[in-house]
Structure 1
């Protein structure tokens, strides 16, 4: 590795929305995360369909999961090569890749008090294809220490966004929504609020054939169905205390179908409007409940591009300045990938990547398994 490479890391993220892979090249030479390159690639339709199918029990799962992991590793390797070309760098210029993989099951604490979380990945293949050290399996050590294994991004949010003496919060609107509360005293709290884009995308794709409700146009054309919203909000997860995390294991088509009986005859756009209101409500409720003094909410993740979701979020938080992470120097779609670049750096430096107050782990832990170049 070249001397300058010690500060350069690549982060790769494929989130619950299954909308594609985001990759960033991050430079930590000044002690902070500076994103110098960003690239993204949609998942091939057949791979996306298989990853989605693997979220629920099915036939021949082990075989299919391994082949999907191989395909995902190849797609990640292609994205890494794109980043290197954009930056006019080669493999020897990068310290490591932080590769999250694709979560297909997330059941922390379930069944035997430890539970499990599964991110499909083939980091050994990714290291072979790129010639770069890979740090992967970033959640399981936290689970082993009694934690949720999620959310992990609050530690990065603290590193990247915290301002001394200032209360603020960071909301990631990915497939799930997760909130980080950064207090003026330096205390950090964080948890998954509930569904972010996952139900919006599911409903939109089912009835329009489009992968997402672009700009929230479908939701904006509908009316919130109060009876349906009340039914959705009876979900016990919303009132559970943190630490807590969730995923498609709970918020999925089956869960939604159970509640649709509360709105017989609702139009497609009315259901979309109600689901958008649900996502905004869960986030706003958690901020009001747990950090009522916060007056600045920084939002990242793909949901930032849903104007109707952002409008509803601001409407529910009239006394809070709701703004995109763009305002703090990192584009919304880059934040999670940058977090996994940071987690890879933490691992190679032998420093903890989790926050026990957030995940519920017994203490700080070095996260990740290292696959040398």
Structure 2
């Protein structure tokens, strides 16, 4: 395999698995990522007890000691290394053929505002490099935060390289635990920002009331009716009215946040339907406010598989074609992991990985620390 092969790893805010993507950048002498080719992509499950701990921490329902956090960092690093090794075995690719691993890690807290802004991702990169024998690039977000940015979203540069079209105003929508938009106008700067919860709240509510990790095809939500009064209380959250750049996480939009806005007599299925409506209306409102002439919305991430969610988005955006990134030859489940493969490539080349027009950073920055094998 060529030396242009990179392995991207990420577990998103839903912590529903570790996404691995082996990507071939077959233009090693050039800078655009438009020739990125997915060689292999797969999601590997978390060990159930470890995932339960991650979800509990993300929902702010668990308190842990400093020792426990340090141990969790190593356990997550081992899980990421195991996913990388399994991806190599499943694809038949040797570790020696991979130039680097780009590991996002698992976000536990994301607080880019305040006097001492920070973002915290766990998954010890030294452990990943040691167990795989592959150079590892990690900790991508903190340099952007140090430069006054939000450290998120990080993938608009890749979205622009892969999906921008001079003939129309487009947007790319990532439907992970949190939803974020990349705006790709025909002319002008690329912009991007989080819009609020996507799957995260729906997954957590479904797990609590159905014992299922996610709402397959939106079937649980389809059993209920949108509670307009509850939706209004949820949408009144001041964060939604903030202008870009902005970012958020599961530490802000968690079940406690939902419960504080319930009257107490709502049915579980009505709440699920309302959470789906919250995702749709916050995305649609943000897109209409910032790029109202968008004619194509390209969606990726796990939420693409929720047919009720995709149908509701299409209904909320008349005149805008809503489609999966699969229509453009991009596996919607692999796009984020591909992004971290690309970020690792940028770091090794000493090239910026952020877009100041997206994150609000003071300027372009090389992102990530490099850990030799």
TM-score interval, normalised by the smaller of the two chains: over 0.9
Comparing 64-73 and 294-303, the one that deviates more: 64-73
Give CA deviations for 1:115-161 in whole Å, capped at 9, x if unaligned.
10000111001001101000000000000000001110111111221
Pairing 1:132–2:134 present: yes
Deviation for aligned residue 1:59: 4.3
Shift of 1:60: 4.2
Q: Give 3-state SS (helix, strand or coil) of 2:333's partner.
A: helix
Contact 1:136 1:369 in 2 (8 A): yes
What residue number does 2:18 align with?
21
Task: Give ranges in structure 1 of 5+ residues lacking alignment.
Answer: none
**How far apart in 2 are the matches of 1:300 and 1:338?**
12
RMSD: 1.3
1:365 aligns with 2:365: yes
The 8 Å contact of residues 116 and 140 in structure 1, kept in 2 or not, is answered as yes
Q: TM-score, normalised by structure 1?
A: 0.95
SS in 2 for 1:260: coil
**Does 1:75 find its partner at 2:79?**
yes
Q: Identify if the C-alpha distance between structure 1 residues 60 and 252 changes in structure 2 by more than 3 Å, giving closer, same or farther.
A: closer
Q: Whole-Å Cα distance in 2 between the matches of residues 167 and 285 of structure 1?
A: 17
2:334 alignment counterpart:
334
1:41 Cα deviation from its structure 2 partner: 1.1
1:229 maps to 231
Deviation track 1:213-264 (CA, whole Å, cap 9, x = no partner) reads 1110011111100100011010001110000000112101111011112xx4
Higher mean displacement: 75-84 or 11-20: 75-84
1:158-207 Cα shifts (integer Å, max 9, x gaps): 12211234310000000000000001115200000000011101111111
2:117 aligned to which of 115, 118, 127: 115
Name 2:346's counterpart in structure 1. 346
- Is 2:102 the partner of 1:105? no
Question: CA-to-partner distance for each residue in 1:271-301, whole Å, 9 max, x for gaps?
Answer: 1000000001111111111111111000000
Task: Note if 1:51 corresponds to 2:54.
Answer: yes
Q: Say yes or no: does 1:253 pair with 2:235.
A: no
The farther-off stretch of 23-32 and 280-289 is: 23-32
Are residues 1:39 and 2:38 paired?
Answer: no
The structural deviation recorded for 1:82 is 2.1
In 2, Cα distance between equivalents of 1:347 and 1:174 = 25
Which is worse superposed, 282-291 or 51-60? 51-60
Residue 298 of structure 2 is matched in structure 1 by 298
> Unaligned stretches of 5+ in structure 2?
28-32
Q: Which residue of 1 aligns with 2:30?
A: none
Distance 1:225 1:165 in 2: 40
SS of 1:105's equivalent? strand
SS in 2 for 1:202: helix
Aligned counterpart in structure 2 of residue 88 of structure 1, from 92, 96, 102: 92
Question: Does 1:168 find its partner at 2:170?
Answer: yes
Give the match's secondary structure for 1:12: strand
Contact 1:51 1:68 in 2 (8 A): no
CA distance in 2 between partners of 1:229 and 1:109 (Å): 26
1:143-292 equivalences under 5 Å are 143-261=145-263, 264-292=264-292
Cα offset for 1:57? 7.9
Higher mean C-alpha deviation, range 68-77 or range 95-104: 68-77
Structure 2 equivalent of residue 322 of structure 1: 322
- Measure the CA separation in 1 of the matches of 2:89 and 2:193: 37
Q: Residues of 1 paired with 2:209 and 2:63: CA distance? A: 27
Matched residues in 2 for 1:58 and 1:50: separation? 8
Shift of residue 28, structure 1, vs aligned partner: 0.3
Task: For residue 266 of structure 1, report the CA deviation from its aligned partner.
Answer: 1.9
SS class of match (2:19): strand
What secondary structure is seen at the aligned counterpart in 2 of 1:19? coil
Inter-partner Cα distance in structure 2 for 1:350 and 1:57: 40
User: In the alignment, is the contact (CA less than 8 A) between 1:155 and 1:355 conserved in 2?
Assistant: yes
**Judging changes above 3 Å, is the alpha-carbon distance between structure 1 residues 217 and 59 closer, same or farther for their aligned structure 2 residues?**
closer
Q: Give 3-state SS (helix, strand or coil) of 1:332's partner.
A: coil
Q: What corresponds to 1:63 in structure 2?
A: 67
